[in-house]
A and B are shown apart, each in its own frame.
Chain A
Amino acid sequence: MSDQAASAVSQAIGLGKHVTGPAGGLTILAGLNLEIYAGEAVAILGASGSGKSTLLGLLAGLDDPTDGEVWLCGRRVDRLDEDGRAELRAGQVGFVFQNFQLLPTLTARENVLLPLELTGTPDAARRADEALNRVGLSARAGHYPRQLSGGEQQRVAIARAYAPRPAVLFADEPTGNLDQTTGEHIIDLLLDLRQETGTGAALVLVTHDPRLAERCDRRLRMHDGRLEPLA
């Protein structure tokens, strides 16, 4: 294990992703390097189809790289088996998706409870209520996702992502389905909550909106299967 890998929450070394489909091969990522440190917020920008979601999936151990190494909280993700990754995800990783992905059969509160129960957190109920309270949705705790607006659903998703106090939170276009004002509010929440969780979670934010990206500590642009820094 390298020292760098130890201090970075999430790290990719020489990462490559190549897929072969019926229409031939496609290299999405090639020789990509990335380090993300605790507490920092990193924005990833790039054209549609440039491979941002693919990168996120690889960093979170949702998919296997074709080349290179992926490290998460000091462990090499691409060498772990599925259950090892699940365990890692359960404790250290949070997700916020473009289309919210709340479980439709669970209420807002139950959605927030779910990851806490999966990790067997002792004071799950209290923490879920706190998280909902923090995103301003205590009053809607008993509502089902379909009874909530898009922005409200995304706030529940953020509460769900932060409630287990993850080391790193991946957000793939969290504002993509929302209007601008709501979007900014969501980004505020994401950035604020990051500091409040106490562990100083890192945030990896994929977005098309340069104004939202401005508010992050670092901005990277996906291009030709690699990341390049943006001023």
Chain B
Amino acid sequence: MNAWCLTLRLLRQDWRSGELYLLSAALVLTVAAITAVGFFTDRVEATLERQGSALIAADLALESSRPLDVRFADAAQARGLRTARTLEFRSVVMGERPQLVLMKAVDPDYPLRGRLRIGEALDAPDRPVESGPPAGEVWVESRLLRLLDLRIGDSLGVGESRLRIGAILTDEPDQGRSFFNIAPRVLMNRADLDATGLIGPASRVTHRLLIAGAATAIDAYRDWAGSRLAANVTLTDALEARPEFGSAVERASRFLHLATLVTLLVAGAAIALASQRLVERQTDAVAVMRCLGAPRHLLMRVLIGRLVLFGLGASLIGCLLGWLGQAGLLAALADWLGTDLPPASPAPVLVGLATGLITLLGFAVPPLIQLARVPPLRAIRRDLGTPRVSAALALGAAGLALALLILWQAQDLELGLKLLGGVLATLLALIGVVLLLVRLAGRLAGRARGVWRLGLAALTRRPGAAVLQIAGFGIGILALLLLAVVRVDLLESWRETVPEGAPNYFLINIQPHEVEPLRTFLNEAGIATPELHPMISGRLTRIGEHAVEPSDYDNPRAERLASREFNLSYGTEPQPDNRIVAGRWWSQGAEAAPQFSVESGIAETLGIALGDELTFWVSGHEVSGPVTSLREVRWDSFNVNFFVVASPALLRNEAATFITSFHLPAEREAVIAELARRFPSVTTLDVEAILGQVRQVIDRGVLAVEYVFLFTLGAGLLVMYAGIQASLEQRRSEHGILRTLGAGRRTLLSSLAVEFTAAGLLAGLLASVFAEATGWLLAEQIFELEFGFNPGLWAVGVLGSGLAIGLAGTLATYPLLIHPPLRALRGGNS
């Protein structure tokens, strides 16, 4: 007969008999998790990028000190991108007295990303608006009104024009870009600019062309423009404009991918357990079919065809659930994600289907191949047992499937390989240790009596099954503990990268003679004495013997860095949030020989290696020294940090200004006004807004990750259920026999409790060890976060798992004990 026909019929019958429920639950869950995360991550990443975009009010910004060539704007519009131009300059406005302000003239479309906020009166709450001021109107910072005793509706002299003060400007998305000013900010319409006569050929103006639109068009434009930039034009995108933001976004996306991977692994274990059980239940059937003359190739086709059909079906359901899941998540995060996101792409569905099939085939095909080899003789000789799956084949196929999926999901070869290595090592160690422990339990069983013996012996009678079961429990608990570790430790320490007291003010342009008075001033104001770092600008001229020319670099970022002045600093100790990743920091303090320490990211971009001799052009002469260390910098800590730090010997004698950062609670803002009065040349930067943005990314990121972990939780519970189910079959007939031999219910119940509790304790112990190790590795290697060991976890892990599995297992098997033994012996299902 037709193999397909038989396949379909068997599949239908298997389904009706309920044998596939567990496997399908595991599969549906895996696919749902992958699909949901796929849909969701796409959108979260888009949102995060868009939030980054808000920081420059666009997706891309071109910036120059001269008017920008119109072809840049034309090319953008030709690609269907939106554009807006801004001009920023210092100017003096006239109220009752003249006042220096920072003027920004903007197109009506400004801002392209993010929102302006304005208030109607000094104390009125502010509201977001969609575009900049209309012609004839200016929006001003409240400070200006106070300084000039003006009110809304008054007019302000701007060059040769008088413009009406239309609103109080409370928030500009891209304000962070221009914080080097303490002058009050004024926003005007670009249409009014000519009439003011403020801009002449010699004026110092920053011209910007803001561009926003679909991601693909933006990428294309970036490539197009990147190669056509004049020397005085820079091109910025959001994430690199604010490294602290970029690094939070990157972590968020890593967390999401990690959560998906963990779900995948755990669900994989459930699938492995479930398919093993399926094989056990079908051995007899296959032997009989072979007796009836079904050829092996037909059986193989039927078995695998059935698996694939079933896999496709379950995966489709999983995709649907995944889509629903992400819809729920989007609804939960609607206030953050907004509703104007592009619709989710269908790609995650394909990814989900492929993942489902790969997982299923990888874990279930080896047992099936063995199944097709069941000797027909087994139909008359039951003692031939279940066919043994070759360990090499099973591990090979599962390993291959895992490797494929991990490398694919991690989307980063190095991270993928690291994860893969970790996972395989963990699995092998898990199986090895379980084998050992099972042996040990066997020894104990030999000495034990009564129910103890019965219970412990049950664990050791079928070592293979017990190892699988305990490994399954272990993986389930591991997933749960990892959730705890990640939630409590990793996510918390992620939040703490921007702690409550993170610096929200930067002071720059501090002259050397102001250092001591400023320190005293801050001290008296009750601000913990911050460290003041010297800052010297220098242009990188040579790396080793090689002269640095911006045109040497293909990478536009490297090109820009090479053409830019670096802010150099010197010191005796590395900043506390820096981590030396190569070489060593100088140990002789102020006496150290001339040398440099370079941030590892920029070193990679510019091709600087440990030991290279760097030469900088600093105030008219060359300064050079070797690179003796590379540092990783946590940009999202909001501390003062430098790409390049020198030993004091190199730069001590150069003219420097100083920079510092500190935290000032909102209610004490008066200190800043006083500071501005006492130290007029010092520039104050308020980074509270960016701080808030980064905090928001982290908070929402944490929420999203926790949501994804719900799937992991489901998978963890499922794998434990699968572990209990796995033993249910064998137990059914065993208990029938024991009961006919006169074993009382209480004896059997106690032996069950002993067995499951022992399995739970063993699994919990293993899971705790691996959860701690994994947490530590993740923190150190992948997220660069602090990790604290957690004794509470061990207690909960070991005792909790013993209790939970002991209870769940006993309860699950209890029905076997209330049914009459005859039914158990006859293999009844109900």
Q: Which residues of A contact B (CB under 8 A)?
A: 53, 56-57, 60, 62-63, 82-83, 86-91, 93, 95, 97-99, 101, 103-106, 110, 114-115, 117-120, 124, 144, 146, 160, 172
Contacts and interface: CB of A to CB of B under 8 A. Distances in A.
A83 B826 CA distance: 33
B827 A119 contact: no
A110 B13 CA distance: 10
B379 interface: yes
A97 B496 CA distance: 70
Contact of A89 (B9, B16, B287, B292): B292
A199 to B, nearest CB: 16
B294 A90 contact: yes
Contact of B17 (A86, A88, A93, A104): A104
B16 A105 contact: yes
Interface residues of B, number: 36
B285 interface: yes
Interface in B288-302: 288-298
Nearest first, the 10 A-B pairs at minimum CB distance are A90-B293, A89-B293, A105-B17, A117-B1, A86-B295, A115-B292, A62-B377, A83-B295, A62-B376, A103-B285
Given A114-B289, A146-B829, A53 B381 contact: yes
B343 interface: no
B827 A146 contact: yes
B828 A105 contact: no
The SS class assigned to the B binding surface is helix
Contacts of A62: 291, 375-377, 379-380
A66 to B, nearest CB: 15
Interface string B1-31: 1100110011001101101000000000000
Given A57-B377, A90-B292, A172-B380, A104 B6 contact: no
A89 B829 contact: no
A114 B298 CA distance: 13
A114 B5 CA distance: 12
A104 B285 contact: yes
Nearest to A161: B292
Contacts of B289: 103, 114, 118
B297 A83 contact: yes
B285 A95 contact: no
Contacts of B293: 86-91, 93, 115, 118-119
A124 B5 CA distance: 14
Nearest to A107: B13
A184 B554 CA distance: 92
Nearest to B292: A115
B10 to A, nearest CB: 8
Interface centre among B6, B291, B298, B379 (most CB of A within 10 A): B291
B284 to A, nearest CB: 7
A224 B6 CA distance: 44
28 contacts: A53-B380, A62-B376, A62-B379, A63-B375, A83-B297, A86-B290, A87-B295, A89-B291, A90-B292, A91-B293, A95-B379, A101-B284, A101-B379, A103-B288, A103-B289, A104-B17, A104-B285, A105-B14, A110-B13, A117-B1, A117-B6, A118-B289, A118-B292, A120-B2, A146-B826, A146-B827, A146-B828, A146-B829
Contacts of A101: 284, 287-288, 291, 379
